[in-house]
Structure 1
Amino acid sequence: MLIAPVSIAVPLATPMGEAHQLIVVTSAGWDTPNGHLQAFERTASGWKAHGAGFDVSLGRSGSAWGMGVHPQQADGPQKREGDGRSPAGIFAIGPAFGYAEHISSAMPYQPMLASSYCMDVPASPLYNQIVDAAKVGEAAVKGSTEAMRLDLHNDGDRRYREGFVIEHNPGAVPGQGSCIFAHLWRQPGEATAGCTAMEPARMSALLAWLSPDAKPLFVLLPDAEYQRLQRSWDLPALPETTR
């Protein structure tokens, strides 16, 4: 006797993967230098908002498609080194960093030193890496504009006092953008060179909440792109207050 095969619906893979924590940033459009951040947790019934959302600042020129865990997108601006745009898409969240020796976070943490630099020189073999000049040599960090102890190099600048790495361009493709972080702002709403910035209390709360076991991801999209991709990328429904 022949038995008819049973059709089993297999869900399509999405960029969300095994993530159980999301940080979602949305903006009004590609050229908008500010946005709204909402955190989410995955529950048995789907994504649930974690805490209240809040305003953040983005790149001075807005945002552009970056290189992350999402499928590459052809329509819209593409992130390039020095363009002043925050990378859009879905990205792994890398280690936390800051000025203190330790912070209250389960995330891997790297204290920054006076000799710590992030290499934003496309021709460098260390491109898109945070390195210690005391280990790699002063010549290796020549030309970098990203001293990670801004307080020591820029008159007490607090922006990198606490933050985390947004893993844009993990393959370090030259010229596609580097050194993308979530960090503090110097003053409310001040645009960045391509990062996402927020007030200190918000950053501390995010770092205390994030867990590497939850495989957290960072999402940044203009509103129209978020609505277009929400279902196919398994993105959470946004609270009405963020729309």
Structure 2
Amino acid sequence: MPRSMIQRAAFLAAGLLATLAPAIAATRLPWANARQMVVVTVPGWDSTQGQLRTYEQHDGHWREIGTAAAVVIGKGAAWGVGLNEQQPGGPTKHEGDGRSPTGVFRIGQAFGYAGTAATAMPYRALSATDYCVDVSGSPLYNRIVDARQVGEKAVAGATEAMRRDIHNNGDHAYRLGFVIEHNPDGRIGAGSCIFAHLWKTPSSPTVGCTAMADGTMDRLLSWLKPEDNPVIVLLPEAEYTRLRMAWSLPAP
């Protein structure tokens, strides 16, 4: 074969590999099987307010569903423990810092004060004895448990009573929400009890969760499907731009 033809074939092959590389890389991502994605972006690491958008996977492409909605997060953002690899730059989430974890996370069970909710997601009807254990080093760290089942000593020191309406003067924050699976293996000190829940006001930061209006939560829970392996992404805008292609995220 003439040298020119060999060079042309090599050039075409290289071009094909470059074209296919993003698609091949996307199939290797830990969230490659996700067909629903909730995307939360904030202006910067110290921002407390952001935007939430929802997407569905269609023929290998993300399509936005519905319209953007306002959310509030914690006292800024910090890299959490999720599905993505550790990233450079920015703060790192730790217990008690009040920051919301950034990265890609599975969406876990829904929960609320009522016996049932309008959602296809697994749902936990909260009781007065349900706690999320935020005591770093506890064998139950970062888990929602019922004190009647695990014993009062097992939840000693836990500050996250899930029935906030009973334990916190009628607080409705956890009337409806879902678990953001940050630090699912309970790494000591990496942060615990991270949820999506209802906000107090549109400008009141959380202590690490992502909060929203009642209507936004209703829409999310009626849309989410466990069989679609939904994930939630939270990133500062600059990080979203930097990582969008490598992480196969929706176009902004």
Deviation at 1:189, TM superposition (A): 2.2
1:22 correspondence with 2:7: no
Q: 1:228 to 1:155 in 2, by over 3 A?
A: same
| Rg (Cα) greater in structure | 2
1:166-185 alignment runs, 5 A limit:
166-185=180-199
CA distance in 1, matches of 2:218, 2:233: 19
Which residue is equivalent to 2:5?
none
Map 1:157-168 → 2, pairs under 5 A: 157-168=171-182
Query: Aligned Cα RMSD in Å?
Result: 1.5
TM-score (norm 2): 0.90
CA drift of 1:15 comes to 4.1
Q: Distance in 2 between matches of 1:187 and 1:65?
A: 25
Which of residues 46, 51, 63 in structure 2 aligns to 1:31? 46
Provide the identity percentage: 53
Name the structure 1 match of 2:56. Answer: 41
Partners of 1:15 and 1:233 within 8 A in 2: no
Q: Does 1:219 align with 2:233?
A: yes
Please state whether the residue corresponding to 2:140 is helix, strand or coil.
coil
Between the two proteins, the alignment pairs up a number of residues equal to 233
Where in structure 2 are there 5+ consecutive unaligned residues?
1-12
Does the alignment pair 1:207 with 2:221? yes
- Quick check: 1:16–1:233 contact (8 Å CA) kept in 2? no
Counterpart in 2 of 1:3? none
> SS of the residue aligned with 2:153?
helix
Post-superposition Cα deviations, 1:208-237, rounded to whole Å, max 9, x if no partner, equal: 000001100000000000000000000001
Structure 1 unpaired stretches of 5+: 1-5, 239-243
Q: In structure 2, the residue corresponding to 1:160 is in which secondary structure?
A: coil
**1:77: how far off?**
0.4
State which of 67, 86, 91 in structure 2 corresponds to 1:52: 67
What code does the residue aligned with 2:46 have? Answer: D
- In the superposition, the TM-score normalised over structure 1's length comes to 0.93
CA contact (8 A) 1:96 1:109 kept: yes
SS in 1 for 2:34: coil
3-state SS of paired residue (1:232) = coil
SS at match of 1:84: coil
Residues 1:103 and 2:117 aligned together: yes
Name whichever structure is richer in helix by fraction: 2
Which secondary structure state, in structure 1, belongs to the residue aligned with residue 222 of structure 2? helix
The residue type equivalent to 1:14 in the other structure is: L
